[in-house]
Amino acid sequence: MQIGILTNTFDTTTPDDTARAVAAHDLQAVQLELASVGLAAMPDEINTTEAQRIRDAFAVHGVAIAAVSGTFNMAHPDGTARQAGLRRLNAVAEACGDLGTSIITLCTGTRNRESMWRWHAESYTDAAWLDMAETVREAAHIGEAHGVTMAFEPEVNNVVDSARRARRLLDEVASPRLKVIMDGANIFHAGELPRMTEMLHEAFDLLGKDIALAHAKDLDHDGDAGHLPAGQGLLDYPLYLSLLRQTGFDGALILHGLRADEVDRCATFLRGHLSTQGHKLAGTSRL
């Protein structure tokens, strides 16, 4: 397993500066936010030279690009906005080979026009589900065309707001190129935190075989996604990491929801728990 980080943790905008910042904390992988390397968050195109320059900058510092963010509001009430997101997603998928990654992260979104992560009552209608599922299906087709895995994240404010709805979406789309991001801090609706053990087990029972990427952050209350650094909240990390291990997951565990000055503390926290549980940690080249 690799411990990695979301690149927007750092206040950097060039490939070399971002890769150097990651390597300075002895981390081995990133979920790449394209704005962190000087591009638009979802570009209309990424030319081959630019993509290879990004890949090479991270490789020099011994950092793998485990995934690249391709988020847009897949449940947006305006179909034109959803189609624009898909066009840009295709551009990201076309660049994945040159970037040296094969996973794109997605957000199933909400009916909220301002934020794909903000709650909206209409997100739980049949119409919202149908629009989102069709957009995800088209994203999976893009993944199939380019040999890229599309990974979405269940989150309490999104249309896919639970492990059960994530399982439903996986089964409906039925594409080998559609997988999930597991984040134990994102699945607790209001009043559900006392059932943490039961709900974590259920999430892994339902989704364990389809995990492409894992996130590491924390929460101090239910009814919202977690926003705390890993180890500084209420998530049962020994259980969460144990369940990851039991699934056979050996990919990247991505830190986010933290400041740059909190990275070392959180990485040390994860390494300690992973080592105690017998996870094999990937090495790094620290330059």
Tens digit of each residue's pLDDT, the chain (287 residues): 899 999 999 999 999 999 999 999 999 999 999 999 999 999 999 999 999 999 999 999 999 999 999 999 999 999 999 999 999 999 999 999 999 999 999 999 999 999 998 899 999 999 999 999 999 999 999 999 999 999 999 999 999 999 999 999 999 999 999 999 999 999 999 999 999 999 999 999 999 999 999 999 999 999 888 889 999 999 999 999 999 999 999 999 999 999 999 999 999 999 999 988 877 776 544 33
As a whole number of Å, the CA-based R_g of the chain is: 18
Please name which of 213, 219, 172 lies closest in space to residue 199, comparing C-alpha atoms: 219
User: Domains (ranges, CATH) in the chain?
Assistant: 2-276 (3.20.20.150)
Residue 134 CB contacts under 8 Å (≥ 6 apart), including other chains: none
Cβ(51)–Cβ(99) under 8 Å?
yes
With 0-12 / 13-18 / 19 or more C-beta atoms within 10 angstroms meaning exposed / middle / buried, residue 70 is buried
Chain centroid to CA 118: 17
In order, the DSSP letters of the chain are -EEEEEGGGS---SHHHHHHHHHTTT--EEEE-GGGGTS-SS-S---HHHHHHHHHHHHHTT-EEEEEE----TT-S-HHHHHHHHHHHHHHHHHHHHHT--EEEE----S-SS-TTS--GGGGSHHHHHHHHHHHHHHHHHHHHHT-EEEE---TTSSS-SHHHHHHHHHHH--TTEEEEE-TTS---TT-GGGHHHHHHHHHHHHGGGEEEEEE-B-SSSSS---BPTTSSS--HHHHHHHHHHHT--SEEEE-SS-GGGHHHHHHHHHHHHHHTTPPPP-----
Looking at residue 223, what is its pLDDT? 83
Cβ(216)–Cβ(266) under 8 Å?
yes
